[in-house]
Structure 1
């Protein structure tokens, strides 16, 4: 059992929190109540960023002390909205939210994952008709191994998980969000994930 704090109580955060609790972890979900995020992060070993990506950097940078020596699992994508409310463009072109978080939180081990799929797939990857891929980006091998084990608790087979390397590789997976509005307009909000076919 691991103490996990999920920052963000929307559909993404709620879905992850429920699945991790079913897997036997002790999970706290922090909403926007003043002090809730700090309290949850301060007592957890792993913190999951499920906040809207456009505001994640400011929210998490304010938790620098609470996040010290913790693993921060960043699943958000930082984008501006297009006219239809779907992702329109990247906030950090030539970089990524994960890189910005790692720079702002040098004593926190940031791992990027689960940001290349619609949220139901994060906790039910086997429901897709084809094998999905979950990517890992981060500087700390031990932190990535811990997150790898967390993904297996969510139903991800080890052969479905690909370690891309350092945190700089997150800019590639974050850029994949630009596929989403086109896919949604074409097929609706049908669960999907990017995958590597070999």
Structure 2
């Protein structure tokens, strides 16, 4: 059975770790320190807790659910990463006073690419970052053949990511392989549109995701 190390204790980390634990997976959630107060809510979820390094050591597959602005520092503190698969679901957003957060990805740069460049022996797959975390964890929460994208350089890591996606309910026809990690820039830039659509539809609107018709 695959063991998971989920890095990050915010709503995304809580949602994904709860879902994986519910499905019977072995999950450890990591924070900056093993005694961080942010880990307290996880006791009720049936998951282990520890530091970032503890979670990485525990895991066959790492899920990066940290704040994108802090991801590289979190991974630096996480100990040996060589040979691990990391599913990066994060987005790097710059807060804007009185406005929408600004995605920092550009056509030539993304957090996914910078993670891979900083840790060349880590197998990075960018995925799930184009939707709300409830949809990440349970695609049945949105009807229809909406899609999830994969970007990464290693074929085996993508296969492991597909297995994780399938575990959470994603069907093969919903998984779209965009190519290498350089394509992570495109999916990270969609966050500008995602936020605008979310605001335009209102806080009470049902969850949504992107679909490809034709």
Report the TM-score when normalising by structure 1. 0.92
Moved over 3 A (4+): none
Relative to structure 2, which stretch is displaced further, 184-193 or 7-16? 184-193
Query: Aligned partners of 1:61, 1:164: CA distance in 2, in Å?
Result: 27
| Alpha-carbon offset, residue 92 of structure 1 | 5.6
Q: How does 1:52-91 map to 2 (within 5 A)?
A: 52-63=67-78, 65-84=79-98, 86-90=100-104
SS in 2 for 1:98: helix
Distance in 1, Cα, partners of 2:23 & 2:165: 11
Report the Cα offset of residue 196 of structure 1.
1.8
Match status 1:28 vs 2:28: yes
Matching residue of 1:3 = 3
With normalisation by structure 2, the TM-score equals 0.86
Segment drifting more, 77-86 vs 22-31:
77-86
The aligned counterpart of 1:49 is 64
Unaligned residue ranges in structure 1 (runs of 5+): none
Secondary structure (helix, strand or coil) at the match of 1:66 reads: coil
Partner of 1:184: 198
CA-atom RMSD, angstroms?
Answer: 1.7
Unaligned runs of 5+ in 2: 35-49
Q: Partners in 2 of 1:163 and 1:36 — Cα distance? A: 32
C-alpha distance in 1, partners of 2:164/2:61? 10
Further displaced range: 26-35 or 86-95: 86-95
2: distance between equivalents of 1:132 and 1:148? Answer: 15
Moved more, 18-27 or 160-169: 18-27
